[in-house]
Amino acid sequence: MFIPQTYSLAVILCIVTMLCWGSWGNTQKLAGKSWRFELFYWDYVTGILLFSLLLGFTLGSTGASGRSFIPDIAQAGPGNIFRAVLGGVIFNASNILLVAAMAIAGMAVAFPVGVGIALALGVIINYIFAPKGDPIILFAGVALIVAAIIIDAAAYRKHSRSLQKVSGKGILLSISAGVLMSLFYRFVASSMAADFAAPEAGKLGPYSAIFFFALGVLASNFIFNYLIMKKPFEGEQLSFSDYSKGTIGIHLTGLLGGVIWNLGMSMSILASAKAGYAISYGLGQGATLIAALWGVFIWKEFTGASKPVNVLVALMFVAYLAGLALLVIAGS
């Protein structure tokens, strides 16, 4: 199977993760013009599973390093399968809250607050269990990113007050999503072998871990998303008959969102072989910066903002970039 061999390549894969995790939300924004996020989400999780299979039978089944995809699944221990699936369940709960927050408060707020919290807590959790990189530089970077989160939330509230449409629900959903999202990666990481090239018996390789993770996402969706369809955060109840009314284009948009997100997840997991879990996860969650750029410059979520608000948004970007740079330096 394909495994990155250098730290430089691992950083490049983390940048791909950052771009994917920060951009998949655009598919929800596109579909959301005529499609509720609860309905979008069924196609999204299907895209995650389909991409995990595609990756497993391609990159996961070629090359001489490690175990091939199917043999790796066949030898996997039940405990490790459970941990990877549980990671998918936790991620799905957090991501549904995040998508709901995007629908209510916009990408420029939901991502910096929700994913920013997930980044800070996730780096700490993953570093405790698998320390790698300079801790002083690493946590200095995390501190800058936390500062960026606070600045972004302040900018949003200031701008929302000027428009008389403060969404406390959007902020609360973003915070809840962030706390849950900080936990999922550790469960997936604990299911995998320490050395992808020479994995110990019973442990999962990266491609099989991604597959079982995707199964957890899809299976839990029949509980989490169904409940939200019946008790939505906003709007009327939905049923599966509403899903059948979607056009092919709308369904493909949701599938694309899942594929983009899982491409990012897969690159992050592969990068962890050289960068370590804390740095790989932290750099990938720089997606917040990408999502904020989309929200500010493409979706115009801060249109008409006052000069103080624009100054805060600019400071947020500077703090995020500085924090991400320190994460790269910490690993090198």
Full DSSP string of 143-173 = HHHHHHHHHHHHHHHHHHHHHT---HHHHHH
Q: What's the domain range around 322?
A: 7-331
* CB atoms closer than 10 angstroms to residue 146: 18
Q: pTM for this one?
A: 0.86
Do the Cβ atoms of 23 and 260 come closer than 8 Å?
Answer: yes
Under-50 pLDDT residues of the chain: 164, 166
Does residue 152 sit within a domain? Answer: yes
Alpha-carbon distance 173 to 113, whole Å? 10
Q: For 22, what's the count of Cα atoms within 13 Å in the CB-facing half-sphere?
A: 24
Closest CA to 29 of 44, 15, 19: 44
**Would you call 123 helix, strand, or coil by DSSP?**
helix
Does residue 2 sit within a domain? Answer: no
Does residue 253 sit within a domain? Answer: yes
Q: For 67, what's the count of Cα atoms within 13 Å in the CB-facing half-sphere?
A: 23
Alpha-carbon distance 101 to 169, whole Å? 8
- The gap from C-alpha 13 to its chain's centroid, in whole angstroms, comes to 14
Alpha-carbon distance 199 to 89, whole Å? 25
**Would you call 204 helix, strand, or coil by DSSP?**
strand
| Dihedrals phi, psi of 311, to nearest 5 degrees | -65, -45
Closest CA to 66 of 269, 312, 321: 269
Does residue 293 sit within a domain? Answer: yes
Number of domains composing the chain: 1
- The gap from C-alpha 284 to its chain's centroid, in whole angstroms, comes to 8
Does residue 204 sit within a domain? Answer: yes
Does residue 138 sit within a domain? Answer: yes
Does residue 29 sit within a domain? Answer: yes
Alpha-carbon distance 62 to 56, whole Å? 9
| C-alpha distances in Å from residue 60, one per residue of 69, 89, 97, 126 | 5, 23, 31, 24
DSSP annotation string for 275-316 = H-HHHHHHHHTTHHHHHHHIIIIIS-TTTT--HHHHHHHHHH
Does residue 1 sit within a domain? Answer: no
Do the Cβ atoms of 232 and 38 come closer than 8 Å?
Answer: yes
